[in-house]
Amino acid sequence: MQEFEPKIVAFVCNWCTYAGADLTGTSRIKYSANVKIIRFPCTGRIDFMILMKAFENGADGIIVSGCHPNDCHYSTGNFHARRRWIVFRNLLNFAGIETDRIQFSWVSAAEGFKWADVVNNTVKKIKEFGPNESYKQIAVSTLFNEEGATHE
């Protein structure tokens, strides 16, 4: 019986976390391969709808990571992102979506080890949670793939 390998999508900022993840690689640090990384100029650019789309398209977990506060390449992008995440987490939790499936972090360009830790810990956590069953029922790929059911 194959062990559940979660699909994790990571939305990261170009200047800090992406560079940090690069450092993880050049330092030859091994870490879980479950993560697909998507690079943004800044966490401030990450719209909450993108996170929803990740779940809808089959992600079991999400990582959102950027520069530490006061270190944003664009000065204030991560401050705006932080506010957005505080509100969005509240909403998701109230709507019945497991917010612990989304891991937020600040990982700088020098924190190669930290990135590996964030990924490994997130993968471990999501493995314990199991697949994102709630979303599987309504995910894009499963829509209308049973017998039409259109006469009601």
Partner 1 sequence: MSDLIKKVTQLLSDKTIDVFIGYEKGSADRIRATFTRTPEQAGKLIFDASCTQNLAGFLLKHEVKKLGKLGILANVSALRSIMQLASEFQIKDGEVLALFPNADNSFTEFTDFHSIEAYLETTDVGIKSEEQEMITRLEAMTVLERWAFWNKEFEKCIKCYACRAACPMCYCHRCTTDVNQPQWIPVASHELGNLDYHLMRAMHLAGRCVNCGECANACPMDIPLNLLTYQLIKPIHDTFGATAGMKADAVYALSTYKPDDKENFII
Partner 2 sequence: MEKELKILKYTDLPKLIERFRSQGYPVLAPIRKDKVVEIELVESLENVALDALLSTQSAKKAAFPKVEKVLDFTFGKADVKQTAVNPEECKETILFGVRPCDASGFKSLDAIFGETPKDELYLKKKEKTTIISFSCPIADEYCFCTSVGGGPGNTAGSDLQFTGISKEEILVEILTEKGAKLATMFTDLLIDAKSDIDKSKFLADVKVVFDVNSVVEKTTASFNNTALWLEQSLRCIGCGACAFVCPTCACFDFQDEQNTKKGVRLRLWDSCGFSLFTLHTSGHNPREVQSQRWRQRIMHKFAYMPEQLHVVGCEGCGRCSRACPVDMNIKEHLTEIGSQIVLIA
The helix (H) or strand (E) run that includes residue 102 is strand 102-106
Cβ of residue 134: shortest distance to partner 1, in angstroms? Answer: 5
Cβ of residue 8: shortest distance to partner 2, in angstroms? Answer: 18
Q: Which of 25, 49, 57, 124 binds partner 2 (CB under 8 A)?
A: 57
Check residue 105 for interaction with partner 1 (CB under 8 A): yes
**Partner that binds at residue 49, options partner 2, partner 1, none, CB closer than 5 to 8 Å by kind:** partner 1
Angle, in degrees to the nearest 10, between helices 19-26 and 112-129: 100
Q: Is 98 exposed, middle or buried (0-12, 13-18, 19+ CB in 10 A)?
A: middle
Cβ of residue 72: shortest distance to partner 1, in angstroms? Answer: 11
- How many CB atoms within 10 Å of residue 45? 16
**Token representation of residue 131:** 């697949």
Check residue 94 for interaction with partner 2 (CB under 8 A): no
DSSP bridge pairs for 62: 9, 102
Nearer residue to partner 1 within complex by CB, 3 or 75: 75
Binding mask 56-75 for partner 1 (x = CB under 8 A): x------------xx-----
Q: Do 34 and 125 contact (CB within 8 A), yes or no?
A: no
Q: Where are the alpha helices (DSSP H) in 67-145?
A: 77-95, 112-129, 133-138
What is residue 141's DSSP assignment?
G
Q: Which amino acid is at 88?
A: F
Q: Which of 49, 128, 130, 136 binds partner 1 (CB under 8 A)?
A: 49
Stretch of residues binding partner 2 (CB under 8 A), selected from 5-13, 28-36, 61-69, 141-149: 141-149
Please give the residue ranges that form the binding site for partner 1 (CB under 8 A). 48-49, 52-53, 56, 69-70, 76, 79-80, 82-99, 103-106, 118, 134, 137-140, 143
